[in-house]
Each structure stands twice: as structure tokens, then as C-alpha cells.
Amino acid sequence: MKKEWIWTDHIKEQIIERELSIELVETILNEPDEIVEGNLGRQIYHKLIDDKLIRVITDGNVLITVYITDKVRKY
């Protein structure tokens, strides 16, 4: 069953600021390369695209933020 996500204003702002798309975030959530445990019980969805790691941070069904890093080995 597909999860019903709650899109915070913050993640919407980050998508625009980082020139990403809602469709890309949805793809990461539906087809992550991996899901890791974050601080405070949050889950972090990872997707590697063109040598960049895109991380979507969630808290339950709430989407907290999204960002891109080239520090792939760190995660």
C-alpha cells in the first residue's frame, strides 16, 4: 500500500531552491536505493543519480527536507 505523504512547506521550498522536482522526490520515495535510520527515529531515503546522492528526510509520513550531496561515501 502506498504511503500518504504530508508535504511540508520546507520541503517544497527546498525542491525549488535546489532545482529538483516533486516527481523526482516521489521517485526516490517509491524506488529508493536504500532507506537508512536517521536521528530521532527519522528515515532517510537515498537515491544515487549522476554521482550525486539525493537524500529525502522523513518523520513518519511527514516529508521534512531534501538535499543533494556529492559526499556519497559519508552516507
What is the CATH topology of the domain spanning 6-74? Answer: Beta-lactamase Inhibitory Protein; Chain:B, domain 1 (3.30.1450)
pTM of the model: 0.89
C-alpha cell at 71: 559526499
Contact 29, 66 (CB under 8 A): no
| Amino acid 71: pLDDT | 76
What is the residue extent of each domain of the chain? 6-74
Looking from the CA of 58 toward its CB, the CA atoms found within 13 Å total: 22
**Is residue 72 predicted with pLDDT exceeding 70?**
no
Q: What is the pLDDT of residues 23-66, one digit of tens each?
A: 999 999 999 999 999 999 999 999 999 889 999 999 999 999 99
- 41 or 74, which is more confident: 41
| Amino acid 1: pLDDT | 62
